[in-house]
Amino acid sequence: MATPAKTNRSKQPKAPRAQLLPFRAAHGGRRAGAGRKPNGDRAGVSHDAREALAARFPVHVTQKLREHLPPLRRRDAYAALRTAFAAGCDRNGFRLIHYAVLNDHLHFVVEAGGRSALSRGVQGLLIRVARTLNRLWQRRGRVFADRYHDHILRSPREVRNALRYVLGNAHHHAAEGRMVAVPQAIDTFTSAPWFDGFREPIVVRGLEAIVRPVAEAHTWLLTIGWRRHGLLSVTERPA
């Protein structure tokens, strides 16, 4: 009986095997240290998308300066800031209602027709401020450390607390010994001289000769709503 011929398997081509190549790590994906870096030495405001804004809500805005710049609470710097505020306080649906000038940061209470109007208004105001300060300081370059922080004020209580915080912030810093002096009952480096919500009568000499650096409030929360919790006293301090 004939024996079937043996197949020579060693001569048959082998199926190709997948090779594992030592690829370098790609730039995509989540990893430590990823993402846009802050303008300053420290991490600043998150660059996530900001929440929507309804026109009926005021907003508390905070903007920090870069390090190693001259302090803002000086007569020449404050005069320059008031000029910039007056030029940009009421433009295209954006209104600057209150402000506070600290040595290394600014506080604003503003109104805007929406998120887009707020962004354009704040950015336009900060550009004016930066150009004004750079001219005063005879320098070029960035003035602000990172993008601004904002907090939407949705209730009368929130608005009152924000007004107390902004108008009394320097008193709070002075009490903590943070190189801020406030010799008057109100802080004249704020919009307090133009504020009509104090319990005590306030008279500021020479105010009529200064161009008003803030706009009139339009929202119910900033005109009427916050007053339901009582007018502010010049002796009140932020919590």
- Say which CATH number the domain at 143 has: 3.30.70.1290
pLDDT at 159 over 60: yes
Residue 48 domain-assigned (yes or no): no
pLDDT of residue 43: 46
pLDDT of residue 108: 98
Compute how many other C-beta atoms are within 10 angstroms of the C-beta atom of residue 99.
25
Mean pLDDT for 178-183 is 56
Share of the chain above pLDDT 70, in %: 74
Tell me the pLDDT of the chain averaged across its residues: 84
pLDDT of residue 177: 47
Indicate the helix (H) or strand (E) that contains 75.
helix 75-88
Report the chain's C-alpha Rg in angstroms.
29
Residue 27 domain-assigned (yes or no): no
Compute how many other C-beta atoms are within 10 angstroms of the C-beta atom of residue 120.
16
Instruction: Provide the domain limits for residue 202.
Output: 59-229
Domain count, the chain: 1
pLDDT at 18 over 60: no
Task: Give CA–CA dist 86/213, Å, rounded.
Answer: 4
Residue 40 domain-assigned (yes or no): no
pLDDT of residue 175: 46
Mean pLDDT for 52-81 is 96
CB-CB contact of 98 with 57 (8 Å): no
pLDDT at 5 over 60: no
Max Cα–Cα distance, the chain, nearest Å: 128
pLDDT at 151 over 90: yes
Residues in CB range of 53: below 8 A, 6 or more apart: 59, 112, 114, 115, 118, 152
